Structure 1
Amino acid sequence: MATSGVIFKRCGCRDDQRRRLEQSCPRLGERGHGTWYFHCSARNLLGRCERVRRGGYPSRTAARHARDEWLTTTEADRTAQGWTVERWLRHWLDNRTKIRPTTRFHYTRDVENVLIPQLGRYRLADLDAPLLRTVFAEIAATRNSKGRPQSASAMNHLRTTLRATLNLAVKEGVLDCNPARHIEIAGYQQPHAKEWTDARVQSWEQTGARPAVAVWTADQLAEFLGAVNDDPLFTLWWLAGLRGLRRGELCGLRWSDIDLDRGTLTIERNRTTAGYHVVEGAPKTPAGRRSVALGKRSVQILRVHRRHEQDRKAEAAENGTPWTDSGSVFTRSDGKPINPNYATTRFRILVRRAGLPPVRLHDCATAPRPSPTKPAPTSKPCRTSSGTPAS
């Protein structure tokens, strides 16, 4: 509840001890001596008491007008009339302090690149279902940053962001209901992984059309692992394809997380990117922190990979080149952990070289496992980056 507060006059005069006289100055009654202030309080949007004291006004009337204007603005801020959509979106982002950096990156991209340009000029009170349906139809007719039509998935993510922002407005009593719940995204369906059967591969080779989410067959996965046997990141591709580890889990993996004697590794961290920035932290969900059984072949491959890393470290010391002992399993030439985006780019290149139908590295983690009758490729020995067979 707002309070009218007080209006008073003060000056900057000091006594013999250099203390400010403030409102006790005997000259305050003189015209032009001192300035006018107001002090009042009101409940803000979050229900907390907000106090303000402002001054420097030439007259009591000016101070009273400034106080009344502040109280009016504060009251408007507690209603949908007092908030533009742009201002509310930024307020919502500022208050999302406990989200992951990658989540904030995607929310910010939606807000800054699309929602504010399209809806920012409206007031929250102006938002209704017909307006939002019209605006979303206009957005759907545009093209994304790559010059392609807006995908149903991107439009759905945009709707999710807007609904989340307006849910806060409902929660804090600024809106009575969320108009974004009436938005429908044409053509959006939860992606369902489709296997690269011979028929789908033939259609892709002829037309270039591919499923939204595609995974390899067991034979295709085995063919890929055989084709990348000499690649320095062969162990990463192996663990992604046969042990279900995701890109962020693999790039964040450290040797301290692996027990080769017991044949297990533990997922303790996730290393991913938010735009051009690498972010490392705990797994996204509690279920992501888990132990993974390796199997004898995986243990053997990891032992070879570890020896190779030790050889690289020794070679750097011998040559006097920089080396950072990061403890990461998959490293750059200087020992620092690899950038997750590099793993994605490298994977695409290797898939293309192998002549296999495209899948995402993320989907490689969900690829079907080779059956017991068709084991993982062993026709080629696992090789180091120098091309020599690893024992």
Structure 2
Amino acid sequence: MATSRRAGGITKRCECRGPEGRLLGTGCPQLTKKSHGKLLLRQELPLDAEGKRRPFRRTGYATVTAAQADLDKLRAILDLVSDEDEDAARRVGDLLQAVMRDRAPIPDAAEVKRRLGVGVELEGKMTMSQLFESWLGSKKTRQTTTNGYRSHVRVHLDPGIGHHRVDRFGVGQAQAFFDAIAERNDTTRAENAARREQEQRAKWTRGGRPPAAERPRLEEERVRLAAMPPYRRVTGPATVQSIRRTLRAALNYAIKKQVTTFNAAQHVELAPAARPKGLLWTDERVARWRETGRKPSPVMVWTPAQLGSFLDAAEGHDLYAFFHLVAYHGFRRGEGAGQDWENVSFERRTVTVAKELVVDGWTPIETDPKTSGSAGTVKIDAGTVAVLREHKARQETQRAERLKAGKSWMDTGKVFTQDDGSWVHPETFSDVFRAILATTDLPPINLRDLRHGAAALVKAGGGDLHDAKVKLRHSTIVLTSDTYMELFEDYEDELTERAAAVVPRARKATAPQPAEPPE
């Protein structure tokens, strides 16, 4: 193929014809005159997809120097691709064939090289869909993070803006895309509210069977309910902010690859996404929850007494040590699931976080901690050491019993394993947590809130926000403050009241009496 690419040159083309009407071509005696005929550039291109030849031809040059300059450009472009890279050679051939057809200027080899590196069609302009595909293919982030980007692209970005050209994608298009998400959210909220109201109209809530006179009306209401759109989830402010971060990263990649010079995502105006505040399950909030069924905040934290009740209920379970470790020392689910025995020191009373088990789709995979701050050594208390010792002894007994019975044991080295020593699926910890919680009368939290409770224990033990930051291995104290400031203030109120109650008094405090009206 390399030889055919070099086949070509510059000749003169004559339009003179002989007596029989045929072109004389190079046989024309007038070609010896400098002014006779036209200069012709000819260069073999890489074969097309069907293996056919396709020479590049161009005439109309005033001088040999001009024709030679274009020929040099062509050959510089052809030299960019090797004989082995047939796909790149075909793309270069397609580009030059289009240049010949459209009588367009021959592009610079540097520009063609840049587009080859980005991986888009050379003769066209890069679309946002092509940008997303190229950017995702270049990502070196851990698998679950990259999958999060892919989800944003697949569900939101590609359908919404994939058809736009990257070099023409401006703030207007970006803002319109995010405004459309907000409009869909408004529609979804309205439809969800209408469905809830219709459900109430379609129910008989007065007890017993509805009377015969009411049944036709209820049936009509149920028909209307069946015709309504199902419940849908809105795209929350935090998710919208994440989508913008994904778009901004993709456009930064495009700038780096010199596909565009402007990042429109940086100038989009969005509603702020406030971090959910951690609140304590005080007696007042528990009473309100029992009355209304609504949680005061997405992040709720048990008091020490409530936590103790849960751990008492969990103590007989094989995974009790996991819940103890999360509750007392703020381990994330993946960190606890991926913990190795070799990184547990009973003598030094430390647990070093070095690996995580996370879920990719539904498949558990082992990865490094998400951030450098997450990886680190955690000091544990003597009670946690005792719990882990007991858990290890039970695991070793289980292993010995399996081997004695002629069954296999997978030596994964994990602290928490299944009966055969294999990994515990991370979702299993959440399932077991919910099952144990259902046996109690405690107010609801989720497994991640159990980690948040470790911050509450720091405060209950006399620590401050900095101590909570260290315990939870946050990257900055701002993150700790944003999440736990109100939780710490709740504890201040509770501790203040408990401290005041310690002082014995001979008489009970009386409520202030209303002032007497003036005479």
Q: TM-score range by the shorter chain?
A: 0.7 to 0.9
Secondary structure, aligned partner of 1:313: helix
**TM-fit CA distance, 1:187:** 5.2
Going from structure 1 to structure 2, the CA distance change for 1:40 and 1:279 (only over 3 Å counts) comes to: farther
Quick one: structure 1 residues 315 and 147, their matched pair in 2 at CA, closer, same or farther if it must change by over 3 Å?
A: farther
Q: 1:42 to 1:341 in 2, by over 3 A?
A: farther
Q: 1:353 to 1:184 in 2, by over 3 A?
A: farther
Q: For residues 231 and 374 of structure 2, what CA distance do their matches in structure 1 show?
A: 32
Q: Is residue 2:125 matched to residue 1:82?
A: yes
Deviations 1:314-356 (A, max 9, x none): 2212333332121111001221021112112222232233232
1:1-391 mapped onto 2 (5 Å cutoff): 8=7, 35-36=53-54, 40-42=75-77, 53=89, 65=101, 74=112, 77=115, 82-96=125-139, 98-140=140-182, 141-142=184-185, 147-186=232-271, 188-210=273-295, 211-367=297-453, 368-369=456-457, 371=460
- SS of the aligned residue for 2:452 comes to coil
Q: CA shift at 1:285, angstroms?
A: 2.2
Give the Cα separation in 2 of the matches to 1:66 and 1:193. 64
Identify if the C-alpha distance between structure 1 residues 355 and 50 changes in structure 2 by more than 3 Å, giving closer, same or farther: farther
Moved more, 241-250 or 204-213: 204-213
Change (3 A) 1:241 1:54: closer
- What one-letter code is carried by the residue in structure 2 that aligns with 1:134? A
Rounded Cα–Cα distance in structure 1 between residues aligned with 2:397 and 2:171: 63
8 Å contact 1:253–1:328 — kept in the other structure?
yes
Alpha-carbon distance, 1:279 to partner: 2.0
Cα distance in 2 between the residues matched to 1:325 and 1:128: 55
- Which ranges of structure 2 fall in alignment gaps of 5 or more residues? 9-51, 57-73, 83-87, 190-229, 463-519
Q: Structure 2 counterpart of 1:8, which letter?
A: A
Deviation at 1:286, TM superposition (A): 2.2
| CA deviation map 1:98-133 (0-9, x unaligned) | 201110110011111211111111212342223222
User: TM (normalized to structure 1)?
Assistant: 0.75
Contact 1:129 1:182 in 2 (8 A): yes
The separation in 2 between residues aligned to 1:111 and 1:148, in whole angstroms, is: 18
- Residues 268 and 89 from structure 1, CA distance in 2 versus in 1: closer, same or farther, beyond 3 angstroms? same
C-alpha spacing 1:360/1:281, structure 2 compared with 1 (3 Å) = same
Maintained 8 Å contact 1:40/1:53: no
2-structure distance, mates of 1:192, 1:288:
21
SS of the residue 2:285 aligns to: helix
Q: What amino acid sits opposite 1:255 in the alignment?
A: W
- Aligned positions, number: 336
- What displacement does 1:272 show? 1.1
CA 1:256–1:204 in 2, change beyond 3 Å: closer, same or farther?
same
Supply the distance in 1 between the matched residues of 2:461 and 2:265 (Cα, whole angstroms): 50
How far does residue 88 in structure 1 lie from its aligned partner after superposition? 0.6
Question: Per the alignment, in what secondary structure is the counterpart of residue 287 of structure 1?
Answer: coil
Instruction: Give me the whole-angstrom Cα distance separating, in 1, the residues matched to 2:355 and 2:129.
Output: 35
Q: Distance in 2 between matches of 1:265 and 1:62?
A: 64
Q: CA deviation at 1:164?
A: 1.1
Tell me the TM-score normalized by structure 2. Answer: 0.58
The 1:277–1:61 alpha-carbon spacing in structure 2 relative to 1, beyond 3 Å, is: closer
Once structures 1 and 2 are overlaid, which stretch shifts more, 303-312 or 166-175?
166-175
Is the 8 Å Cα contact of residues 7 and 63 (structure 1) preserved in structure 2?
no
Which of 1 and 2 has greater Rg? 2
SS at match of 1:132: helix
Q: 1:263 to 1:68 in 2, by over 3 A?
A: same
Q: Which runs of 5+ in 1 are unaligned?
A: 10-33, 374-391
> How much does 1:212 deviate?
2.4
Dislocated runs of 4+, deviation >3 Å? 34-43, 48-55, 60-79, 142-146, 370-373
For the residue of structure 1 that corresponds to 2:409, the secondary structure is coil
Deviates more, 1:255-264 or 1:229-238: 255-264
Quote the offset at 1:134 in angstroms.
2.3
Q: CA deviation at 1:63?
A: 10
Secondary structure in 2 matching 1:330: coil
CA contact (8 A) 2:278 2:300 kept: yes
Backbone CA RMSD of aligned residues: 3.6
Q: Is the 8 A contact 2:81 2:89 kept in 1?
A: no
Contact 1:8–1:36 under 8 Å retained in 2: no
1:177 and 1:35 map into 2 onto residues whose CA distance is 41
Distance 2:126 2:105 in 1: 16
Which has a greater percent of helix? 2
| Cα distance in 1 between the residues matched to 2:53 and 2:304 | 82
